[in-house]
Amino acid sequence: MSSSHHHSDQHRRLVLKALLWLTLFGGVCFSAINIMRENWILAVLELSYSFISLYCLLVINRSENLRTLTIIYLVPFFTLMMVILFQPRTSFSVFAWIQTIPIIFYLLLGLRLGLWGSLLFIGIGLFAFSQRFTSDNQVTNILILANLGAAALSVTLFSHIYERSRLRNEQRLTELATTDSLTGLANRMRLADVFEREINHAKRNRTPLALVFLDIDHFKLINDRYGHKAGDKALCHFAQLLSGRLRSGDLFCRLGGEEFAVLLPNTSAEQAATIAHSLCERLAATPLELEGRPLPMTLSAGVASFGEDGELLDELMQVADRRTYSAKRTGRNRVVTEDGHEQPLAAT
């Protein structure tokens, strides 16, 4: 699960819990009131829904599909509300609950379902009001209904604007938190998020998954000789150049400094080695233009494979990192796929 989705899910889980507790106690109280008023139908409905709320409270923490649980709870909840609105023995004050419909829908179900759910149940609520409230003055009837409808639709509009703004801000913050500011590549946090998704896919479909570490050779010499601005240009050149050689489903990350990683779904260790070799060749064949002169760059790479070298991200990173440094110790500009099996490029 991605960070943004995880935080949104936790937020909605807390809101749903609060609503469940409210309807649990509210249902018990209102059913008791209706029993005293001998309104047996509403009493039974409200008491039954209290038990539904209690059940949802018991399973909410272990429920993996929060949206389904929310819909299972909300549809009967608002249906019961509409039934109450149509009852001739209920007070007109119950129509104040119409204002809560868009707030609850948007908080728990987001933009699309929030909009359609709000319009549906607000429409039914306004129709119930028009059937129950009548006076001798038709103009007065229209004005009251128009005011109630305008208030409900205003709350819907504000809820829609708020939810859309919240989602955009959340997405923007997530993007900032998971993107390397210099190169624009994904960072370590994003790698961890995507890795969780990809290992679940690999286990479920029994497909390979590989991780490649990339380290720019002699990067410290570039910084020492040309300065940190040149080093930043070298990093950006590296990121932009190699990004174009990867597939759309691959994840290219900057881990920090001159260290990078590529997560390769549906890729065996042999295929990952081939991709790593192509990246080495691409970089060696395209030097950085610095101060009007070409600056040759090379990289060393280490490959780790899910299952063979570990099942956790940290395990694969340790193996790939170790093999990368093995490549650097044995001459650089080469790919290591197994411990003790260095593969220098043919061109070097």
Q: Model confidence over 286-336: pLDDT tens digits?
A: 999 887 889 999 999 999 999 999 999 999 999 999 999 999 998 889 999
| Model pLDDT, residue 298 | 94
> Model's pTM, two decimal places?
0.66
Q: Which residue in 75, 80, 160 sits closest to 128, CA to CA?
A: 80
| Model pLDDT, residue 347 | 42
> Does residue 258 have an active-site annotation?
yes
| Model pLDDT, residue 348 | 39
Q: Which of 258, 281, 289, 338 is catalytic?
A: 258
**Residue ranges in the chain whose pLDDT is less than 50:** 1, 346-348
SS (H, E, C) the chain: CCHHHHHHHHHHHHHHHHHHHHHHHHHHHHHHHHHHCCCHHHHHHHHHHHHHHHHHHHHHHHCCCHHHHHHHHHHHHHHHHHHHHHCCCCCHHHHHHHHHHHHHHHHHHHHHHHHHHHHHHHHHHHHHHHHHCCCCCHHHHHHHHHHHHHHHHHHHHHHHHHHHHHHHHHHHHHHHHCECCCCCCECHHHHHHHHHHHHHHHHHHCCCEEEEEEEECCHHHHHHHHCHHHHHHHHHHHHHHHHCCCCCCCEEEEEECCEEEEEEECCCHHHHHHHHHHHHHHHHHCCEEECCEEECCCEEEEEEECCCCCCCHHHHHHHHHHHHHHHHHCCCCEEEEECCEEEECCCC
pLDDT in tens, 263-300: 999 999 999 999 999 999 999 999 998 878 899 999 99
| Model pLDDT, residue 7 | 61
Structure tokens at 209: 């998954």
Q: Which residue in 207, 106, 85 sits closest to 148, CA to CA?
A: 85
Q: Could you give the CA distance from residue 271 to residue 62 in angstroms, rounded to a whole number?
A: 39
Structure tokens at 89: 């023995």
Domains along the chain? 3-177 (no CATH), 188-344 (3.30.70.270)
Q: Which residue in 27, 8, 30 sits closest to 19, CA to CA?
A: 27
* Residues 94, 148 contacting (CB under 8 angstroms): no
CB atoms within 10 A of CB 314: 9
